[in-house]
Chains A and B, each alone.
Chain A
């Protein structure tokens, strides 16, 4: 291709700024290729995260031209504006350095939403029989493929406005568990995800669903939680 594009990359922490680099265009070039080119050829002090390069691990998410994306699965040709590209760290998470953010709070919220499976059976019990076509299992299956990349969380305005909001990923996880027939902490989980740090804070704007690279629907999961929580409240279980 031979052309060169101008890439603005965030450097420093929250009080940092954009620095420009010139990177040659290649065919089938991904944004991760661009960032890697800068780090290997132009500026070895650039910090960023990636592992698998093929959309399996969820560690390379960044804000590309204002939108949170997996950089490994984003072709430059799809997002470049003219000949410029802007790469920034994910929103709603503290910046550690350059393009790497601190995801501790993001994952702590999974724990706060009781995102851990709690079973009652042991290895000596029979396998649980779960009907794959049952409505509950279908709901769980629809959300189970989340790999925790943080794109939905970075895209959520409610997280920006209410920093204690659990966020779409943690609530999606809770939704898959309340639909798991083997789980025994449904009631505690519903209490954990209710309230204005939980599902009730969601305004159903749908940015999470719009941007999820795995086409999951956290908005749907959160609506489901609202319904179940309302039922639990009516029964006095909260």
Chain B
């Protein structure tokens, strides 16, 4: 694949994931606003999330969209602001995204399936 074709694909995936994220963030914030009415406790949260397939599925999608979106933008920031060579920037941002995805899935496992 040429470098131009790769950049075009990365741009496409960043844009697609941004659309998913826009929707997810709205749902996420609306849920928070709804859930915190009249205070919030850990027990209350867990009672809603434990065993909820819908909750789990939504956040898996949210997480995957983040894992696609974040490394593409982060690589550009590392290149432009910290003068990292392209390859290094891609590797660092890829590792960051993998860690983020790992932590996210672990957290989800904790509140949904544990």
A positions within 8 Å CB-CB of B: 158, 161-162, 191, 194-196, 198, 200-201, 203, 226, 229-230, 232-234, 236, 238
Main secondary structure of the interface of B (DSSP, over half): helix
* Contact with A238, one of B4, B76, B80 (Cβ below 8 angstroms): B4
| Most chain B C-beta atoms within 10 Å of own C-beta, residue among A191, A203, A232, A233 | A233
Please name all residues of chain A whose beta carbon is closer than 8 Å to the beta carbon of B76 when the two chains form the complex: 196, 201, 203
Docked Cα-Cα span, A201 to B81, in Å, equals 13
* Contact with B8, one of A162, A200, A203 (Cβ below 8 angstroms): A200
Beyond A230-B12, A238-B2, whether A194 also contacts B7 by CB under 8 A is yes
Main secondary structure of the interface of A (DSSP, over half): helix
B4–A194 touching, CB < 8 Å: yes
Please name all residues of chain B whose beta carbon is closer than 8 Å to the beta carbon of A229 when the two chains form the complex: 4, 8, 11
The smallest C-beta distance from B84 to any residue of chain A, in angstroms, reads 12
Total contacts A-B at CB 8 Å: 47
Please name all residues of chain B whose beta carbon is closer than 8 Å to the beta carbon of A226 when the two chains form the complex: 11
What count of chain B residues pass the 8 Å CB interface test? 15
Docked Cα-Cα span, A165 to B21, in Å, equals 28
The 3 A-B residue pairs whose C-beta atoms are closest, nearest first, are A194-B4, A233-B8, A161-B80
Please name all residues of chain B whose beta carbon is closer than 8 Å to the beta carbon of A201 when the two chains form the complex: 76
B positions within 8 Å CB-CB of A: 2-5, 7-12, 76, 79-81, 86
Docked Cα-Cα span, A195 to B3, in Å, equals 6
Docked Cα-Cα span, A233 to B8, in Å, equals 6
Docked Cα-Cα span, A236 to B6, in Å, equals 11
Please name all residues of chain B whose beta carbon is closer than 8 Å to the beta carbon of A200 when the two chains form the complex: 7-8, 10-11
A161–B2 touching, CB < 8 Å: no
B5–A238 touching, CB < 8 Å: yes
The smallest C-beta distance from B80 to any residue of chain A, in angstroms, reads 4
Docked Cα-Cα span, A219 to B10, in Å, equals 19
Docked Cα-Cα span, A125 to B9, in Å, equals 40
Given contacts A195-B8, A232-B8, A238-B4, 19 further A-B contacts (CB under 8 A): A191-B2, A191-B4, A194-B4, A194-B5, A195-B4, A198-B4, A200-B8, A200-B11, A203-B76, A226-B11, A229-B8, A229-B11, A230-B11, A233-B4, A233-B8, A233-B12, A236-B5, A238-B2, A238-B8
